Chains A and B, each alone.
Chain A
């Protein structure tokens, strides 16, 4: 089925990702993300016992979903979606009610601790509009991130989506994410794997109380 409308997407090849966190740093620098909050980060997990063990990295960012739940629940239409699929937040309309943060299945939104309105990854729309790649894509030393128009058959993203088996995070939430992963380990995508839930609840509380 062909669709000619522009639709931005990102493919992250986890078999190439080296877990260097340079994408997180580039994002922070490019978008002036305040301390204690992240638009893009890398979840790191170890699996197995020595000598059969490995570490895995999962770069996480806003999925700029086709059916974005944050856009649907925003009471002031501050969250909106461009025709090219990028989900943006109008800082002048946001009331900071945090409902989008509560509804997002990927926990990629945060309330700016200083300006007190919601923010998230916009695929660096200011760079994209200027014909550049998002900062995280530009800086990735392993070339694990590929960004482009998934409806353009000539684009690298579209070709990767055809050639390689890809998966998305939480496909059952029905949000149709625009970030696709190659080589995604099911345990890595499971938020309850690798943590003690009871300990996590108590520990996260203490950390959050210190930060916020």
Chain B
């Protein structure tokens, strides 16, 4: 039967690219933070450079990310209302609590780490760990509680956001680690051959860890796609839009293909899986892929008409 909408009104897309970028930066620093704290808590000496790189990443990203959040507000000068007028049922309030408490414990952790006071670095690292998880998981809840959008409204969203945050955090730290490795190679500033081998092994281990989270990402996307195909008409349209439709060139090819599947496949190829040059490129793909994921899910999730 022929049906045509003759008149309806267009609606503003509420969560814009600024929010998607904020989600990306928060994920990036949460990933860096979790890896840095994890490396500190294990107490292994060879992980110390990773812990310090992660800590610096946290400082830079955390001090810049909230600017995007404030700028996107219709009333930017009222940003402090988010902290003083809390609503316990709103994930944005949960996020405000995490965003206020996390920098305090993390700053002490970072100071202790750089002062080589490992006892207190471990204590404050352990306190910061759940806050670092919360500071990013809340962004997943922001979307999952948006019941009107089928692409968001899934209980897997916080896990998907955390998992991709780990991928981006590890990718950034691996990339910096590889550049550091090459710089030390060029200057020939290694203490001995063993130190060089240990650093090389550490970077390869990081790529494997990234691979684990990439497999988790792919599994979450697979389960979501299967579920959405059996849900409402809107869910089917959203699933098609991401995988074969309007956003497929970004989501399916760049994020899932280049950002997740290609690195996982590279891990299985002998010779390639220990080549730092290849991994430097793949980690750049992973970083771009996670950003694309944040954009397509956050902004793209609002493309399906709901009224």
Contacts and interface: CB of A to CB of B under 8 A. Distances in A.
Contacts of B145: 73, 103
Interface stretch (B87-95, B128-136, B281-289): B87-95
Interface stretch (B5-13, B155-163, B203-211): B5-13
Interface string B68-94: 000011110011011001110111110
A177 to B, nearest CB: 13
Contacts of B126: none
A111 interface: yes
B149 interface: yes
B304 A102 contact: no
Contact of B7 (A42, A69, A98): A42
A105 B6 CA distance: 21
A186 to B, nearest CB: 11
A103 B12 contact: no
Contacts of A72: 87, 89-90
Nearest to A193: B3
Given A95-B81, A96-B75, A102 B14 contact: yes
B188 interface: no
A207 B10 CA distance: 7
A107 B79 contact: no
A49 B2 contact: yes
A97 B4 contact: no
B3 A187 contact: yes
Interface stretch (A4-12, A138-146, A159-167, A197-205): A197-205
B304 to A, nearest CB: 7
A108 B8 CA distance: 12
A60 interface: yes
A87 to B, nearest CB: 14
B303 interface: yes
B15 to A, nearest CB: 5
Given A55-B6, A95-B82, A110-B11, A48 B1 contact: yes
B5 A75 contact: no
A180 B255 CA distance: 43
Contacts of A73: 87, 89-92, 145-146
Residues of A in contact with B, size category: 35 or more
Contacts of A201: 241, 246, 303-304
B142 interface: yes
B201 interface: no
B75 A197 contact: no
A126 interface: no
A37 B9 CA distance: 8
A93 B75 CA distance: 10
B76 to A, nearest CB: 8
Contact of B74 (A93, A111, A198): A111
Contact of A77 (B73, B78, B85): B85
Residues of B in contact with A, size category: 35 or more
A77 B87 contact: yes
A8 B193 CA distance: 79
Interface in A158-205: 173-174, 187, 190-195, 197-198, 200-202, 204
Contacts of A147: none
Interface in A62-117: 69, 72-78, 93-99, 101-108, 110-112, 116-117
Contacts of B72: 97-98
B43 interface: no
Contacts of A94: 74-75, 78
Contacts of A187: 3
Contact of A191 (B234, B245, B246): B234
A110 B303 CA distance: 16
A97 B73 CA distance: 5
Contacts of A200: 305
A103 B148 contact: yes
Contacts of B164: none
B74 A191 contact: no
A69 B202 CA distance: 47
Nearest to B301: A102
Contacts of B15: 98-99, 102
Given A105-B306, A197-B304, A208-B11, 11 more contacts: A44-B5, A55-B6, A75-B92, A76-B87, A94-B75, A95-B79, A98-B74, A107-B11, A111-B74, A112-B74, A174-B147
Closest 7 CB pairs of A and B: A96-B74, A116-B74, A75-B92, A98-B14, A105-B148, A101-B14, A194-B5
8 contacts: A77-B85, A94-B75, A102-B15, A103-B146, A118-B74, A187-B3, A192-B305, A208-B12
Interface of A: 37-38, 41-49, 53, 55, 60, 69, 72-78, 93-99, 101-108, 110-112, 116-118, 173-174, 187, 190-195, 197-198, 200-202, 204, 207-208, 211-212
